[in-house]
Amino acid sequence: MDKLITILANDKTTKVTAFVNKTDVLWIRVDELHAATGYELKESGVCYDPLNICIPLLEDGFTQIHSGHTWFNVSKLSQKLSQVCISNDDQTVWSLGLIPEVRKAMLDSSIAPDFEIEDMNGEMIRLSDFRGKKVLVVTWATWCGCRFDVAKWQEIYEELNDPNFEIICVAEDAQGAAVAKKWFVNANATYKCVIDPTHKISTVFGWVNVPTGAWIDEEGIIVRVNEDAYASEHEMAVEGRSTKYKFGNFTFANATKEWVKNGLTNQLKQTKGKLSANTRAKLADDFLADAYFKMGIYYQQQAEEEMAVKYLKIAQDLAPDNWNIHRQTWTFKGTAYATQQWKEKTKAKYLKDRENWTYYEPLDLEEAK
């Protein structure tokens, strides 16, 4: 049966005509395949240009003629690529997860995964555009105290004043510009300002918390990744407390300045083991959680609260240690609720493992010791 459906893929939402049969297999018309999924059917096979890969279609079952059109079996291709392909109950919304191959080069040789995303001004930027420069990619969110770092990173950017250094500062806020834009505006930010409602960048890097930062060298190689990547120390008043709450540190920011000025010294170099751990391989449940998270965000944007809660809950259950998913989900119910949920969950984790558990992975930098 032909029907109009919504495809969530590559952090884009596309309406297409689909043919879904009784075995839950998704077929898309070939003339709509590229716009919806990024795949393109060519003589050599089905190709995905961002990864420069083409898969020969030597087996049957990928295409069929139906209603006068050629249709492509998206579910079969996703299975071949180990890509998550899920749908809602009535199969009108489908979410395609990250292709695991996107992260392969990063895990094998620390090559930063390329990404394409609009900045706050609507300009499309790609990480690969900055080859030849040192790049800091750093995430933050309005539901985290690291929102105060937005202005601090601007101060550091101006202090360094280095044409061969760029900051890509990424707001991980599903509410988008409505909550995040003012922090960039108030900071008079001149670095690359990105608002990432579906956590696209954290997805490709495998990050689960903010602030997380990565140093990427002139060759596009990741040379350091850290959580707890604050730009400064901060303090803020908290209702019901007589003293101000202090958080953040100068460690990561000072190390970043040293790296930009003097290169990757022995003191700044991250061990291979630590770098590998911080660019960790994603498990099958992580990929599945991300696809459900993006479906939940879609329904939240459509103001369909019941459906949003359903899929965001599935994502949380699949990725219990992903604070980005947890905190973004809680924030939809308000700041007070989100704060309380965060306190309860962090307390429970601490009580369960007092010796080893920390909210942030420890910084492997001298000042942090």
Residues 339-364: pLDDT tens digits? 999 999 999 999 999 999 999 999 99
Statement to judge: residues 206 and 264 lie in one domain: yes
The Cα-based distances of 125 to 20, 26, 108, 122 in angstroms read 35, 31, 25, 9
Q: Does residue 218 register a pLDDT over 90? A: yes
Statement to judge: residues 258 and 319 lie in one domain: no
Question: Among 95-104, 233-242, 272-281, whose mean pLDDT is lowest?
Answer: 233-242
Do the domain assignments include residue 357?
no
Statement to judge: residues 10 and 120 lie in one domain: no
Average pLDDT of the chain is 93
Q: Does residue 62 register a pLDDT over 80? A: yes
Q: Which helix (H) or strand (E) holds 3?
A: strand 2-9
- Boundary residue ending a domain (261, 280, 299): 280
Statement to judge: residues 236 and 130 lie in one domain: yes
Statement to judge: residues 263 and 332 lie in one domain: no
Statement to judge: residues 122 and 48 lie in one domain: no
Specify the pLDDT at position 282: 86
Give the type of residue at 52: N
Domain count along the chain? 3
Do the domain assignments include residue 347?
yes
Statement to judge: residues 118 and 181 lie in one domain: yes
Domain of residue 301, residue span: 284-352
pLDDT tier at 369, thresholds 50, 70, 90: very low
Do the domain assignments include residue 274?
yes
What percentage of the chain carries pLDDT values higher than 90?
Answer: 78
The Cα-based distances of 50 to 102, 110, 230 in angstroms read 9, 18, 31
Specify the pLDDT at position 281: 81
d(CA 274, CA 256): 17
Residues 263-319: pLDDT tens digits? 999 999 999 889 988 988 889 999 999 999 999 999 999 999 999 999 999 999 999
Residue with tokens 């001149």: 190
3-state secondary structure 10-76: CCEEEEEEEEECCCCCEEEEHHHHHHHHCEEEECCEEEEHHHCEEECCCCCCCEEEECCEEEEEHHH
Mean pLDDT of 204-213: 96
Statement to judge: residues 193 and 123 lie in one domain: yes
Q: Does residue 368 register a pLDDT over 70? A: no
Looking at 144-261, which runs of residues are DSSP E strands? 165-171, 192-195, 212-216, 222-227, 233-236, 245-248
- Boundary residue ending a domain (49, 71, 97): 97
Specify the pLDDT at position 238: 74
pTM for the whole thing?
Answer: 0.95
**Contact in structure between 300 and 308 (CB atoms under 8 Å):** yes
pLDDT tier at 132, thresholds 50, 70, 90: very high
Mean pLDDT of 121-139: 96
Do the domain assignments include residue 368?
no
Statement to judge: residues 164 and 192 lie in one domain: yes
Specify the pLDDT at position 131: 97
